[in-house]
Amino acid sequence: MLKILKSGLFTTVQDSGRYGYLNKGVPVAGYMDAFSARKVNQLLDNEDDAAVLEITMTGPTLLFEKETYVSMGGALLSATLNNEPVGNYEVLKVNKGDILSYGKLEKGFRSYLAVKEGFKTPVVLGSRSLFSSVTQKNHFVDGDEVEYDACSYFEPRISKLKVDSFLSETDLKVTRGPEYESLSDRQLEMLFAKKFSISNENNRMAYQLEEKIEGIQTSMITSATLPGTVQLTPSGKLILLMKDGQTTGGYPRVLQLSDKALSILAQKKYGDEIQFKLIS
């Protein structure tokens, strides 16, 4: 077992997501930053969709009760193994009794911890991802335990990755949403010419932006949404749906974030700036 001595702000288990249930109102869930999560799994020769710990802003303190191999990626959180500094995107051996701790947030917002063969939370509707109303809990608290398989020997094909960090990127590539054509020239200019900052209303469900543009007053029938759907409210507020986001909505869907843009946005926190870049 992995014992969670201190849980941090919001620590969960996530895999690639829960697919096939949007029509029943069940969000996809899964890694917020899929790019980083897949890199740490790659280092351990795990399946791309192996379950990892997703750690938000303030990291946990973790006690390993079985030996295994781990790797970390995503945000920089001043991690130490038995009080010795350890870095991102490298394979580390951990022994029974080792303690992994996280310190000050240096860059980014979400960090990922993978173990050899992945974490073994229960599979619910085809996924190990924690999500309230589907799984028993939506995040860990002090004293929780997470199952994983012991591994006494592993020879990685690659022991360390040089990853081009996107933690400082601000451009979000987007395509046209279903209601994009409803936007006026004035609204399009505002949407693409200015930078927006992340509001304090941001979580795994959705990110809201501080600045507004002219709103759309046209009413529409509630329609399907996906992670990365950008909605525009009548007041001009922009809402960017994330992995735990609602599966339907009544606001115009003006843009759709690319997969990479979702990963970039997942590493943003309150006050950080982004800008939309339209691609064909």
Joined together, the tokens standing for residue 206 give 């959705």
**Cβ-Cβ contacts under 8 Å for 169 (sequence gap 6 or more):** 264
Q: What pLDDT score was predicted for residue 264? A: 97
pLDDT exceeds cutoff 90 at 217 = no
Is residue 135 domain-resident?
yes
Residues 217 and 112 in one domain: no
CB-based contact 130:121 (threshold 8 Å): yes
Predicted TM-score (pTM) of the model is 0.93
Q: What pLDDT score was predicted for residue 205? A: 94
Separation of alpha carbons 16 and 49, rounded Å:
5
pLDDT exceeds cutoff 90 at 150 = yes
Q: What pLDDT score was predicted for residue 22? A: 86
Structure confidence by residue, pLDDT tens digits, 188-199:
999 999 999 999
Structure confidence by residue, pLDDT tens digits, 123-133:
999 999 999 88
pLDDT exceeds cutoff 90 at 51 = yes
Instruction: Supply the range of the domain harboring residue 240.
Output: 171-278
Residues 142 and 8 in one domain: yes
Structure confidence by residue, pLDDT tens digits, 26-48:
899 999 999 999 999 999 999 98
pLDDT exceeds cutoff 90 at 120 = yes
Domain of 243, CATH number, reads 2.40.100.10
Residues 136 and 178 in one domain: no
Domain count, the chain: 2
Q: Which of 113, 146, 179 is the last residue before a domain boundary? A: 146
